[in-house]
Amino acid sequence: MMVLSLTLGNVEPTWAIDQGEQAEQRDQKTSLIDRLLELNGVRYVNEEMANQYTENLRTRLLRSGVEVDDTFYRIVQSETSRVIYETYVSTDDFERIYHGLYGHAFSVEELSELVAFYQSPLGQKLVSTSGQIAQQGYIQSTEFANGLLPSIQAALEISLAGAGFDLKNIAQQAGSQTTSPAPTVDQVAGMVKDQCPSGDKRDSVENSINSAKPVYRGQPDYPYLARLLGLTGWVEVGFNVTKDGGTDDIHVTGSNPDVVFNESAIKSVQDYIYCPSRNGSENQKIRIRFEMSE
């Protein structure tokens, strides 16, 4: 079973089976472990890992809006499985690791019981579903955990500050992305004067261009915890531009990952400045990307 193999894989491997055991007992364990590796699917770990790798890649590409032919995924699955098999499963290291792990953890009697279980209908059902359960569980758990990041960050800021740690400062050390300060009132007035048409000229521009003209759109704050975790993503925001060049009716229309960057994106759009106009402009949309700087 994949879950069992991954869990045991964290244990320091020992060479084959305990050398202190009798030769007959070691032979029994070796035979039982070989059978167990066949029944629980660990022997085919290359296929399972390749399937998970391919499906994770498919998920990421689909979420990014990238569409490729199924041939692409078949090649990815096939080549990944082949490389893992040739460089790991078919080597002595594979035998050494799993014989050592199972042999150290289980007695002959326990190995016999495990073999009997995996030969049963329930054991075979567990093998056939464990990969899908593990994969979907990982994806859904990750999405759920990411959705909690804003709440986790708020709690951590308070607790860490009480212990003498500055989460914001630590995050800034971990990534070089910085936020530009918002312009002052005088700076805004200067930008509007320099960049926006006025009087008759403004009327003619509004009649010929059905779009708001941006004057200032600053960088959003990068959530500290997301930066520390190396998370990147995007948020698509819809909004209206008012007559005086401000923004209102700001709302998220899509995001990836969900929730993590939403609040920062909304606050950023609240500070956007556009050229004043006679009627304003409705149904504006922008995609804000959150990416780590090198």
pLDDT-derived band of residue 12, with 50, 70 and 90 as boundaries?
very low
pLDDT in tens, 219-237: 898 888 888 888 889 999 9
pLDDT above 70: percentage of residues in the chain: 85
The CA angle 142-170-176, to the nearest 5 degrees, is 85
Q: What per-residue confidence (pLDDT) applies to 230? A: 80
Mean pLDDT over residues 37-60, rounded? 84
Before 220, cis peptide (omega within 30)? no
Per-residue confidence (pLDDT) for residue 10, from 0 to 100? 41
Residues listed for the chain: 294
Q: Tell me the mean pLDDT in the region 205-220.
A: 71
**pLDDT tens sequence across 180-210:** 677 887 888 888 888 887 754 555 444 444 4
The answer on pLDDT for 6 being more than 70 is: no
Write down the pLDDT at residue 291. 86
Q: Is the pLDDT of residue 173 over 60?
A: yes
CATH class of 185-290: alpha beta
* pLDDT of 199: 52
* CA 175 – CA 162 distance, rounded (Å): 23
* CA angle (117, 119, 125) in 5-degree steps: 85
Q: For 268-285, how does the pLDDT look when each residue is reduced to its tens digit (9 = 90+)?
A: 999 999 999 888 899 999
150 is written with which tokens? 């804003």
pLDDT value at residue 227: 82
Q: Residue 11 — very low, low, confident or very high, per pLDDT cuts 50/70/90?
A: very low
Q: What b-and-e string marks burial along 101-136, b requiring 16 or more CB atoms within 10 Å of the CB? A: bbbbebebeebeebbeebeeeebeebbeebbeebbe
pLDDT at 290 over 50: yes
- Higher-pLDDT residue of 148 and 28 is 28
Residue 102 scores a pLDDT above 80:
yes
In the sheet that 247-256 helps form, which strands lie side by side, from edge to edge? 247-256, 233-241, 281-290
Among 28-37, 68-77, 135-144, 166-175, top mean pLDDT goes to: 28-37
Residue that is written with structure tokens 């078949």 in the block? 74
Of 72-81, 110-119, 174-183, 200-209, the least confident: 200-209
Residue 137 has pLDDT above 50, yes or no: yes
User: Is the torsion defined by CA of 217, 218, 223, 228 positive or negative?
Assistant: positive
Q: Can you give the residue ranges of every domain in the chain? A: 2-146, 185-290
Measured N-to-C along each axis, helices 92-105 and 23-39 cross at an angle, to the nearest 10 degrees, of 110
Instruction: For 255-266, write each residue's pLDDT tens digit.
Output: 988 889 999 999
Name the most confidently modeled range: 62-71, 109-118, 162-171, 213-222. 109-118
What is the value of pTM for the model shown? 0.55
Distance CA 15, CA 22 (A): 15
**Mean pLDDT across the chain, nearest whole number?**
81
Cα–Cα distance between 20 and 7 in angstroms, integer? Answer: 25
Residue of 13 and 36 predicted with greater confidence: 36
The band of 22, judged by pLDDT with boundaries at 50, 70 and 90, is confident
